[in-house]
Chains A and B, each alone.
Chain A
């Protein structure tokens, strides 16, 4: 009989958002009311889709050269690593990205914000992390935009990223924010994670080393996925 799989660590209290966060109004009718059933991890939880081999399609990391012309806005490089809790790189995993344009409008029919669409910007990309767990995108800085969560509410500029990691339980959908954005203090989605140190992981760092002269600003952002419990056989 094979031994039980080594479980993944559970998040510490306050380091992930709750399902019900009334300040984000849409949670009120979508948050389950019954407590979830705690399940010990089996192969069903410690395995997950493998993206090596390219079946998810080729990397698409330059969002600025999809159309005839160049999109408007500040060109920026977003680069970082996908890591586990022990700082080990997560290689070969799929990262999917989407964002609005520099005016704060998504290339999406549901978005009716009175800001211009940019015919040269769609706002989607994907990359599989390399052996060092790294990904890199070239894009333009997204704008802030209003939303109807509460009167005069504005989302801080953000980029959506989704990543799988090695297991079903490491799946992560998150948003990357920009340092020093005054809207962060007012944004219930950002604020929904109670732990201030955990929230800091949502903010990219401006990195002058990553900026390319006369070309693009560089932002560095690492994503950390759930890691495994260490055991005597696992000295890390």
Chain B
């Protein structure tokens, strides 16, 4: 049963959130040199007109390369904690609605029952015009574990499912980390699959 108090209602971050939420260094989750494959995730946030959203902020939360979250509730003792990886990132969009993160590719994490969740990054989106933030997930295309992922396999429409898949971009410079594209379409055709958590 729910508790006794009513949770505080959400309110929009408005257009001036960078005053309080500006952490330009938080879009690089690899500064501590964590274990795992480095990846870059780039994307763009657009609205119902297809126009870029220049006043949004994207936050991500993910497991480490072994598939363990840096949180006391994750007690998977068979997987190492990585003292160099906190798993949290934030990036505000620029004038063209773009954001990017440098991180490590997460491992698989347990789902409910005996299921296994494919590697994914949990996403929060805040912006002017959002009274309450949106949730989605970034999965990776051509990942073997996707086929058995409970969320992905619950989505019947392949077009909707596809909105959750980050696309591998053409290789950049030799030695640079793989780049993935993950756009967030807030409304309309190709609208991102958002989650009710």
Contact = CB atoms under 8 A, between A and B. Distances in A.
Interface of A: 1-2, 4-5, 8-12, 15-19, 21, 24, 26-50, 55, 83-87, 96-100, 106-108, 110-111, 122-126, 158, 160, 162, 167-169, 171-175, 189-190, 192-193, 195, 197-199, 201-202, 223-227, 229-230
B2 A85 contact: yes
30 contacts: A8-B197, A16-B10, A18-B132, A19-B130, A24-B12, A26-B129, A27-B129, A27-B131, A29-B187, A30-B128, A34-B194, A42-B109, A42-B117, A44-B61, A46-B73, A48-B88, A49-B70, A85-B2, A98-B20, A100-B16, A108-B16, A110-B15, A126-B20, A173-B10, A173-B12, A189-B11, A199-B9, A225-B7, A227-B7, A230-B3
Contacts of A2: 75-76, 110
Interface string B1-32: 11111111111111111111100000000000
- Residues of A contacting B: mostly: loop
The 5 closest A-B pairs by CB, nearest first: A98-B20, A85-B3, A26-B129, A47-B71, A49-B88
B80 interface: no
B4 A85 contact: yes
A234 to B, nearest CB: 11
Could you tell me the dominant secondary structure of chain B's interface residues? loop
Contacts of A27: 129-131
B71 A32 contact: no
Given A33-B191, A85-B2, A160-B14, A202 B9 contact: yes
